[in-house]
Chain A
Amino acid sequence: MPEFQFQSFAEFLAMGGHAVYVWSSYAFFAAVIAFNLIQPALAKRKIMRQQRARLAREAGRIQSPEN
């Protein structure tokens, strides 16, 4: 069974003096993952809004000659 390799949580954060390199690597990785999930989610909301507006516009145009 793998064991926790650090004496304390503070030592874990310190990463044996390599904290800057290790944690900025993990942070950048996390940011890129988040971007690739959030950006398409926001894009989808925009697409749905635009298409709903288009459908409403077209429905209005079909009805307008009758009025």
Chain B
Amino acid sequence: MWQWFLRLGSPKLFYTLTGRYMPWLAAVTVILLVTGLVWGLAFTPPDYQMGENYRIAYIHVPTATLAMGCYAMMACFSAGFLIWKIKIADMIAKSCAPIGATITAVALATGSLWGIPTWGTWWIWDARLTSTLIMLFLYVGIIALRSAFESVDDGARACAVLSLVGVVNLPIIKYSVEWWNTLHQGASNLSLSDTAANPPEVWLPAFFVGFGILGFFLIALILRTRNEILVRERRSQWVSELITGHNTEAGNA
């Protein structure tokens, strides 16, 4: 098991395997996203108070969840890099930051757009909104911090430490709606019963979108990590062969 894990940490194997399975991942992702979004936009009944505006939630909830999941993942790989000095862990952590930042921006923007007609304001300094904004600043700060270092190793270490410090923000986002009186609503209670406030016909499309967005995240992460591998391993034999095209064994370019 440990042997297998270490082998997966080899940039060459990562590059080969992700190249091989990318088409499958892309196909599943497209199916999930298209199904979920069309379903949520047109085939779920309107909300009795919010009307059609609640359809924004089919993007807002999955993107907000992914934004936090992405941060947790970035922190795990940062810890992996600091503890075991695994090169590819840092490459993955680096790739997480821009995706997380843009997805957090979507969660905030869709929340604002939903809030204008529902709350009567696009922004309020409530705990949930403020802590999510801090997460966006953390992502942006981590990207900026890395670009401030000449040495790849120094930048990697500094970013890993900042990522880990920022983890304290995650439980604050998650529990903000319970710890404080927020304008933001609490977590939805999902139930399989038809009489519940949120019946399956309303939240099931959100699961399709959720897994679709997870697929998109993995694709975007793999694309960025593969680029990072090409740059950092450029002196190695297999990357040279890949670039000059003498050997097509290491996955399709």
Q: List residues of chain A with CB under 8 Å of any chain B CB.
A: 2-6, 12, 15-18, 21-22, 24-26, 28-29, 32-33, 35-37, 40-41, 43-44, 47-48, 51-52, 54-55
Interchain CB contact under 8 A, B45 and A5: yes
- Number of A-B residue pairs, CB cutoff 8 Å, is 100
Closest chain B residue to A11, Cβ basis:
B52
The majority secondary structure among interface residues of chain A is helix
16 more contacts with CB within 8 A, not counting A12-B41, A25-B109, A26-B41, are A4-B43, A5-B46, A15-B55, A21-B113, A22-B55, A25-B60, A25-B110, A26-B37, A28-B106, A29-B110, A36-B216, A40-B224, A44-B230, A48-B243, A54-B234, A55-B240
List A contacts of B226 (CB < 8 A). Answer: 40, 44
Stretch at the interface among B71-79, B97-105, B156-164, B166-174: B97-105
For chain B residues 7-59, which have a beta carbon within 8 Å of chain A? 37, 39, 41-46, 51-53, 55-56, 59
Q: List residues of chain B with CB under 8 Å of any chain A CB.
A: 37, 39, 41-46, 51-53, 55-56, 59-60, 63, 98-99, 102-103, 105-106, 109-110, 113-114, 116-117, 201, 216, 219-220, 223-224, 226-227, 230-231, 234, 239-240, 243-244, 253
List A contacts of B113 (CB < 8 A). Answer: 21-22, 24-25
A28→B239 CA distance, assembly (Å) = 36
Closest chain A residue to B225, Cβ basis:
A40
A29→B40 CA distance, assembly (Å) = 14
